[in-house]
Chain A
């Protein structure tokens, strides 16, 4: 398989907060069309890994690139990031869906979707609006365009957030525990949307606590604990037949 199919390439990532080493030599690659689920106990480094990939945190060591866009290289003593234009370019390669949605509360649903493409990518407004209506339909949110986020349920808000991320045509879509803030009832709708995206071969990296969902939707699973990748492999293998004692213990506790 050629290198151009690798959309996310993170190598030997290290990250500490003070004395607390959160990521210890983590390497992750994601290929086009792949769905990767990252599971593991809280404090295991999953979220930090995601935040480093989405440039919300900077690596202490290791390299990161999105396709041809090299974000950071490791010169032996630590990560060296590209300039602001590189970071700006890198951000066009991915989208992020937050645990708490982080919609803009003062904007209507439509404006939440349309504003970034129009402001940042200079997409013509009518084009952006047409696309927004398509995505709203796809998310099961027809007719909600003029509402503000506070008028929607958590599940609807999260689906708006997914649509907002998709508006920018990301190559990779990251999810940071997308259903952790939702009632089980509302979780279903959000998982269904992600499942549909997987069927369309959207490349996704999902930090999640939904084991059944991870097994069904993800191609690969990474189990992280204590800042290291304890186990990784095909989703069915890792979740149905974990090799490592820590993975087994974790999966038992999640049931």
Chain B
């Protein structure tokens, strides 16, 4: 029997889905949302992981004004709702600079192998997530960097490594191993935080699901969404576990 027919049969019999909304149609629409969710997730990580390092270094800088500025930044990003930050970033170009928001739409682009139209909504959303998550990552990095013994720096210094070489070759690899559990927490939170993009009506999975629930009067999409997010985090846990295992060849 055809898989589509089978699925729809299942949906009709056990989930009460029939008529306009068959199970396959629901899954297709949610799948489209899931792709956007995944894009936000990946773009946020690509942007915020390195940005967090810079913020952490600034926060620990001997240049006091820079250190204070980074402290203020971290405090603000962690101290105000991400939802509010997303909306603020979305509206800033218009209310502060008087730029019409539709002018900020970027044309079609290939992101992680997918052809997508990038509107300002998506861009603003990713900027918001990157800026916010970088603040959290920065504090985790800082904890990790400060946990590296002085002797490691001294050994590198005596051997003639430059400061940049010491950081990239000696310190950072050890920091990554130490902070992995804490980073795992944030990464898994990020999977679910992507749903906050609904405030910008960005068509990620949660936004799509909310629309379907409202229009089709059924709870089923919520249940499926919970399942999707859970599977996504299980996947993230799996990847993190692999990295942790890969770094377990030594301890100190």
Q: Flag the segment in A21-29, A102-110, A245-253 that touches B.
A: A102-110
Give the chain B neighbours of A105 by CB distance below 8 A. 174, 250-252
A104 closest partner in B (C-beta): B170
Q: B154 near A102 (CB under 8 angstroms)?
A: yes
Give the chain B neighbours of A104 by CB distance below 8 A. 152, 155, 170
Distance, CA A149 to CA B174, complexed state (A): 14
Q: Write the nearest CB–CB distance from A171 to chain B, whole angstroms.
A: 14
Q: B159 near A168 (CB under 8 angstroms)?
A: yes
- A54 and B249 in contact (CB under 8 A), knowing A104-B152, A106-B173? no
Whether, in the assembled complex, B165 has its beta carbon less than 8 Å from a beta carbon of chain A, the answer is yes
Q: Flag the segment in A88-96, A132-140, A204-212 that touches B.
A: A88-96
Distance, CA A121 to CA B162, complexed state (A): 12
Among A95, A116, A149, A164, point to the contact of B161 (Cβ < 8 A).
A116
Distance, CA A103 to CA B144, complexed state (A): 18
Interface residues of B in 127-151 (CB under 8 A from A): 149, 151
- A119 and B165 in contact (CB under 8 A), knowing A104-B155, A164-B159? yes
Whether, in the assembled complex, B117 has its beta carbon less than 8 Å from a beta carbon of chain A, the answer is no
Q: B251 near A54 (CB under 8 angstroms)?
A: no
B162 closest partner in A (C-beta): A120
A170 closest partner in B (C-beta): B158
Distance, CA A106 to CA B170, complexed state (A): 8
Among B154, B157, B251, point to the contact of A150 (Cβ < 8 A).
B251
Whether, in the assembled complex, A148 has its beta carbon less than 8 Å from a beta carbon of chain B, the answer is yes
Give the chain A neighbours of B158 by CB distance below 8 A. 54-56, 91, 94-96
Q: B250 near A120 (CB under 8 angstroms)?
A: no
Q: How many residues of B contact A (CB 8 A)?
A: 20
Among B152, B173, B249, B251, point to the contact of A102 (Cβ < 8 A).
B152
Interface residues of B in 143-201 (CB under 8 A from A): 149, 151-152, 154-155, 157-161, 165, 169-170, 173-174, 177
Distance, CA A134 to CA B42, complexed state (A): 47
Q: A92 near B160 (CB under 8 angstroms)?
A: yes
By CB atoms of chain B within 10 A, which of A94, A95, A104, A115 has the most? A104
Distance, CA A91 to CA B159, complexed state (A): 7
Give the chain A neighbours of B249 by CB distance below 8 A. 148
Q: Could you tell me the dominant secondary structure of chain B's interface residues? A: helix
Q: A121 near B152 (CB under 8 angstroms)?
A: no
Q: B165 near A150 (CB under 8 angstroms)?
A: no
Distance, CA A14 to CA B167, complexed state (A): 31
Give the chain A neighbours of B170 by CB distance below 8 A. 104
Distance, CA A105 to CA B175, complexed state (A): 12
Q: Write the nearest CB–CB distance from B131 to chain A, whole angstroms.
A: 31
Q: Write the nearest CB–CB distance from B161 to chain A, whole angstroms.
A: 6
Among A88, A94, A98, A150, point to the contact of B155 (Cβ < 8 A).
A98
Give the chain A neighbours of B160 by CB distance below 8 A. 88, 91-92, 116, 120-121, 168
Q: B250 near A149 (CB under 8 angstroms)?
A: yes
Q: Write the nearest CB–CB distance from A193 to chain B, whole angstroms.
A: 18
Distance, CA A91 to CA B251, complexed state (A): 29
B157 closest partner in A (C-beta): A56
By CB atoms of chain B within 10 A, which of A91, A100, A105, A164 has the most? A105
Q: B159 near A120 (CB under 8 angstroms)?
A: yes
A89 closest partner in B (C-beta): B160
Give the chain A neighbours of B165 by CB distance below 8 A. 119-120
Interface residues of A in 74-103 (CB under 8 A from B): 88, 91-92, 94-96, 98, 100, 102-103
Chain A contacts to B: CB under 8 angstroms: 54-56, 88, 91-92, 94-96, 98, 100, 102-106, 115-116, 119-121, 148-150, 164, 168
16 A-B contacts (beta carbon < 8 Å)? A55-B157, A91-B160, A92-B160, A96-B155, A98-B154, A98-B155, A102-B152, A105-B250, A106-B173, A106-B250, A120-B159, A121-B160, A148-B249, A164-B159, A168-B159, A168-B160
Which 9 residue pairs of A and B lie closest in terms of their CB atoms, listed nearest first? A105-B252, A102-B155, A102-B151, A120-B160, A116-B159, A148-B250, A96-B158, A91-B160, A106-B173
